[in-house]
């Protein structure tokens, strides 16, 4: 029974049983690249030979700076299966962080999309360990980098590779947290962790990725293993659809239509905007969709309702982090809830949900040894442990000490509640929750309710200082085109659901809300922007 759980096993199964299934990529020029798992396997073997020739060391890391496409998928397997590791870089990081992660990971070769060559050129001098650059294209565009084209690199090499026997605890990949405060932290995944995560992703009580699915990860492949979808889809031999740079809601909708996609995953914004696109393009048909997974931030209930009613496309929320590979919880409906009224179901489906099989979850108040009551109201920090939850940060003993409990749970920094059925509801980030007069106000709940207002396109809520109450909420609202709403109207809207002391003292109408490198609302920037606002009693 000492068979090791490795990515080689995932790859082998796909090519053994589903060699003729398709992997479809939308190229930058809008044309479509199609090939099969058999083709992908042959090229993955060629790439592994190329890594040998490039002299990538045993256990050494290769970096990718790339969107979702077939070459990136080949890189998901060739380095780890040949005994190395893939480090997927987020190209939206600021330069200083980009340099830091490449050096911290000691990346030996860097694979880059033509679109991001400038970003790499601008930082290449600061890279201490990168010995070669590979451009993920047929040929190398004009560049100052000493680079080879991916196709030239692999061309003519053998299409079989004698994969080594690997220890399942060996590192297979690495991502960095985007860290809105401080330096990004490196998270190293093991073959075992990713294998188990992939197996779990196919579980009925998780998101049930199956050989009958057509999977479209809109979430970038550099973002927590593309939420594990490329690996889970390969394990089962599902058809994969990779959108490349075409992740705008219109392109995604059309790709879903053209390729008969059944499962797609993205941050809520994509599905929010895609709904508008579908309203304007009734000819686009997304009826093959069986479920849409969202993560990164919670979807408003109104969005779940809209997709249910209009497209019969259930939105399932997942919660996870880079540290959790990432799937930790999923808002599937327990049997007990399936005959409840729709409105009640939407309330559960908008939560982070139930721990997936394999993951342990608990909610603890700071400094306490007992879990908070499972009453759906008591807040505390969400802490998780499981075979695909990492136990440390790379090269960062201090961050590891503060980031994990003594008994091995990850301190997520999320403030959450749990109810008697085990549903986790994330209320806020520890650093975003608004501490008003000794009580906590959830910025996330206020945001969701604001976004449920028909005039609101986007909304975020941050803490500003208050002379008496320490902190009070300030809302930034982007109105929907052609709609209007007054500050009083929005406050009235919130008053239906929240106690009066939760209502934002100030509502700022803005054209745009700044976002982080992973597309989340950038609350740090907003807090800085409104940092000199100090409210006094009677200001509102």
Residues interacting with a copy of itself, by CB under 8 A?
1-3, 5, 9, 12-13, 16-17, 169, 190, 192-193, 196, 199-200, 202-205, 208-212, 235-236, 334-335, 338, 354-355, 357-358, 360, 385-391, 408, 421-422
Name which of 137 and 384 has its Cβ closer to a copy of itself. Answer: 384
Tokens 């995932």 correspond to 10
User: Minimum CB separation from a copy of itself for residue 155, in Å?
Assistant: 29
State the minimum distance, in angstroms, from the CB of residue 191 to a copy of itself.
10
Is residue 440 part of the annotated active site? The answer reads yes
Q: How far is the CB of 169 from a copy of itself (least distance, A)?
A: 8
Minimum Å distance from CB 167 to a copy of itself? 13
The alpha carbon of residue 24 and the mean position of all alpha carbons in its chain are separated, in whole angstroms, by 21
CB of 2 to a copy of itself, least distance (A): 7
> Is the torsion defined by CA of 248, 208, 337, 296 positive or negative?
negative
468 is catalytic: no
Nearer to a copy of itself, 166 or 479 (CB): 166
Contacts of 477 (CB under 8 A, 6+ apart): 450, 456, 458, 459, 485, 490, 507, 508, 509, 510
Residue 533 DSSP class: -
Tokens of 422: 């085990």
Q: Measuring CA to CA, which residue among 340, 364, 337, 299 is closest to residue 421?
A: 337
The nearer residue to a copy of itself, 60 or 353, going by C-beta atoms, is 353
Smallest gap from residue 377 Cβ to a copy of itself (A): 19
From 177, 190, 234, 417, the catalytic residue: 177
Q: How far is the CB of 276 from a copy of itself (least distance, A)?
A: 32
For CA atoms 103, 266, 260, 11, the dihedral sign is positive
CB of 228 to a copy of itself, least distance (A): 14
Say how many C-beta atoms besides its own lie within 10 A of residue 525's C-beta.
15
Catalytic residue among 128, 360, 368, 435: 435
Collapsing DSSP to helix, strand or coil, 140 comes out as: coil
Nearest CB to a copy of itself, comparing residues 71 and 192: 192
CB nearer to a copy of itself: give 85 or 123: 85
Pick between residue 339 and residue 366 the one whose CB is nearest to a copy of itself. 339
One of 129, 159, 440, 508 is an active-site residue; which one?
Answer: 440
Nearer of residues 193 and 403 to a copy of itself, judged by Cβ: 193
Please report the DSSP string for 35-81 in residue order. Answer: EEHHHHHHHHHHHHHHHHHHTPPTT-EEEEE--BSHHHHHHHHHHHH
Residue of 108, 171, 259, 323 marked catalytic: 323
Taking a C-beta distance cutoff of 8 angstroms, is the pair 252, 277 a contact?
Answer: no
Contacts 24+ apart (CB under 8 A), 149-153: 150/71, 150/111, 153/47, 153/50, 153/54
Of residues 21 and 466, the one with the C-beta less far from a copy of itself: 21
Q: Which residues contact 398 (CB under 8 A, 6 or more apart)?
A: none
Q: How far is CA 8 from the centre of its chain?
A: 24
C-alpha pair distances (Å), 56 with each of 61, 88, 519: 8, 16, 33
Give me 430's structure tokens: 């520890």
Rounded to whole angstroms, what are the CA distances from 523 to 101, 183, 203, 297, 480?
A: 23, 17, 35, 13, 21
Phi–psi pair at 524, nearest 5 degrees: -65, -45
Torsion sign across C-alpha atoms 185, 186, 188, 194:
positive
**Active-site annotation, residues:** 177, 323, 435, 440
């Amino acid at each position: 029974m000492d068979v090791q759980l490795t990515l080689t096993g995932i790859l082998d199964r796909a090519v053994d049983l589903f060699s003729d299934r398709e992997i479809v990529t939308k190229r930058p020029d809008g044309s479509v690249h199609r090939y099969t798992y058999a083709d992908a396997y042959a090229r993955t073997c060629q790439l592994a030979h190329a890594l040998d020739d490039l002299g990538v060391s045993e256990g050494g890391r290769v970096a990718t700076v790339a969107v979702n496409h077939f070459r990136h998928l080949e890189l998901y397997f060739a380095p780890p299966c040949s005994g190395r590791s893939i480090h997927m870089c987020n190209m939206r990081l600021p330069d200083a962080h980009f340099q830091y992660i490449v050096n911290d990971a000691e990346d030996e070769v860097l694979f880059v999309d033509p679109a991001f060559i400038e970003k790499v050129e601008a930082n290449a001098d600061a890279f201490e360990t990168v010995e070669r650059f590979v451009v993920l294209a047929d040929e190398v565009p004009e560049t100052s980098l000493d680079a080879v084209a991916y196709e030239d690199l692999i061309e003519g090499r053998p299409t079989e590779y004698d994969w080594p026997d690997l220890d399942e605890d060996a590192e297979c990949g690495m991502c960095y947290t985007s860290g809105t405060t401080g330096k990004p932290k490196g998270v190293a995944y093991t073959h075992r962790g990713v294998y188990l995560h992939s197996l779990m992703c196919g579980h009925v009580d998780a998101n049930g990725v199956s050989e009958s699915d057509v999977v479209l990860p809109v979430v970038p492949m550099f973002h927590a293993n593309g939420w594990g979808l490329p690996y889970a889809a390969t394990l089962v031999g599902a058809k994969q659809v990779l959108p490349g740079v075409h992740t705008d809601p219109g392109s995604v909708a059309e790709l879903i239509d053209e390729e008969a996609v059944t499962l797609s995953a993205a941050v809520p914004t994509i599905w929010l905007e895609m709904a508008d696109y579908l309203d304007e393009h009734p000819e686009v048909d997304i009826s093959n969709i069986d479920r849409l997974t969202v993560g990164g931030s919670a979807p408003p209930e109104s969005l779940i309702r809209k997709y249910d009613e209009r497209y019969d496309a259930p939105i399932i929320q997942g919660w996870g982090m880079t540290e959790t590979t990432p799937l930790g919880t999923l808002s599937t409906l327990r049997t007990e809830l399936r005959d409840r009224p729709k409105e009640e179901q939407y309330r559960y489906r908008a939560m982070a949900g139930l721990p997936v099989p394999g993951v342990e979850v608990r909610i603890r108040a700071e400094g306490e040894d007992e879990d908070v009551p499972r009453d759906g109201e008591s807040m505390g920090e969400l802490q998780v442990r499981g075979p695909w939850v990492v136990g440390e940060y790379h090269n960062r003993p201090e961050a590891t000490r503060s980031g994990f409990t003594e008994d091995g749970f990850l301190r997520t920094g999320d403030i959450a509640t749990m109810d008697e059925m085990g549903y986790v509801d994330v209320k806020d980030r520890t650093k975003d929750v608004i501490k008003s007069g000794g009580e906590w106000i959830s910025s996330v709940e206020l945001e969701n309710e604001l976004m449920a207002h028909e005039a609101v396109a986007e909304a975020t809520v941050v803490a500003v200082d208050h002379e008496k109450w320490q902190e009070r909420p300030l809302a930034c609202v982007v109105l929907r085109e052609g709609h209007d709403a007054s500050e009083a109207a929005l406050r009235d809207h919130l008053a239906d659901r929240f106690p009066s002391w939760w209502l934002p003292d100030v509502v700022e109408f803005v054209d745009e809300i700044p976002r982080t490198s992973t597309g989340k609302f950038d609350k740090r920037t907003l807090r800085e922007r409104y940092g000199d606002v100090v409210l006094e009693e009677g200001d509102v």
